[in-house]
Amino acid sequence: MAIPSKPNAPLLDGPIPGQNLTAELGSRPWQTPPQFTTVEEALDYYIPRLQADEVTEQLLDVLEMGVPVTTVANTMQLASVMEGKHSVDVGMLVLPVLIEMLMLIADTAGIEYETGLQKDRTKVRGSLVSKALNRLQSEGDEEEEMPMTMEEPEEEEAPEEMTGGLMSRRA
Amino acid sequence: MLNNPAPVIYQNMMRAMQNEQENTKPVVERGGLLGPKKSMATKNTSALNEPANRVMEYMKAIQAKRQELKDNGNS
């Protein structure tokens, strides 16, 4: 890839739109018929792999780092779809079982992990804080730019209310 | 844009499991000669043919195992 001469110069030798469709149909693993077509076959593929010591250790490390279980499960099924192991539909069906399985492994190891199922609204994202600060700053700048001589609108006299009683004076 | 469908799918499956538990009625045994046999009444093959229902069964099994693990850890 060519290095742009200026920092903000556009990359002109990137993939062009539609380039992903230029490969021969069926040359990619996900374009071929999937290896496992049922949920049972897919689970027979996943569960022994998850129970392997080497994989379990790596998995526990990742979960201890704070990566949510749902993210790990989704990544696993997505990778298998890319490898042509199973279809996207089977991947979606397998997802809840994978999540449960990962939580079981983590519970067995006795580690603390994040499920990724509940939205933690108490945490404030850093990007949100910076966005609010930027907005506050821009509002402050606008206020400084605005002229301070604001003419107050003249108060209009309120029209007299017409009383409709029998004994009231005629207009 | 939904990047990770896993939480939504998991929660939908959990909701379906709860609904299933609430909607299942106990099978009333009838003593008549023409009444259906118990094995026939409890047999529900069509439900298990659905992949989502089979997934639900697997989830239940793993959840039971997790619960067992928690109970053993607490006691």
Residues A114 and A66 sit within 8 Å (Cβ to Cβ): yes
Contact A95 B51 (CB under 8 A): no
Confidence of residue B61 (pLDDT cuts 50, 70, 90): very high
- Which residue of A lies nearest to B7 if distances are taken between CA atoms? A117
The pLDDT, as a whole number, for residue B49 is 82
Can you tell me the distance from the alpha carbon of A98 to that of A92, in angstroms, rounded to the nearest whole number?
10
Inter-chain contact A92–B5, Cβ cutoff 8 Å? yes
**Using 50, 70 and 90 to split pLDDT, how confident is the model at A3?**
low
Query: Is B9 an interface residue toward A (CB < 8 Å)?
Result: yes
Which residue of A lies nearest to B6 if distances are taken between CA atoms? A70
Looking at residue B32, its pLDDT comes to: 77
The Cα–Cα gap between B39 and A15 comes to: 62
Residues of B in contact with A70 (CB under 8 A): 4, 6-7, 10
Domains of chain A, residue spans:
34-109
Q: Read off the pLDDT band of B6 (50, 70, 90).
A: very high
Strand partners, A36: A86
Task: State the smallest CA–CA distance between residue A5 and chain B in angstroms.
Answer: 34
To probe the interface with A, which of B4, B17, B59, B68 has the most A CB atoms within 10 Å?
A: B4
**Running DSSP on this structure, what letter comes out for residue A123?**
S
Please write the tens of the pLDDT for every residue from A95-112: 999 999 999 999 999 999
Give pLDDT, residue B66. Answer: 94
| Averaged pLDDT, B15-25 | 84
B5 and A74 within 8 Å at the Cβ level: the answer is yes
Compute the average pLDDT of residues A135-144: 84
Contacts (Cβ under 8 Å, ≥6 apart) of A140:
none
Q: How many CB pairs under 8 A join A and B?
A: 60
Residue partners of A115: CB distance under 8 A and separation at least 6? A68, A69, A70, A99, A103
Residue A88 banded pLDDT, cuts 50, 70, 90: very high
ipTM score here?
Answer: 0.76
| Distance from C-alpha of A90 to C-alpha of A96, rounded to nearest angstrom | 11
Q: Is the pLDDT of residue A89 over 90?
A: yes
Residues of A whose CB is below 8 A from B9: 92, 95-96
As a whole number of angstroms, the distance between CA A108 and CA A104 comes to 6
Residue A158 amino acid letter:
A
Mean pLDDT score, A51-68: 94
> Which is more confidently placed, B11 or A149?
B11
d(C-alpha A58, C-alpha A160), whole Å: 83
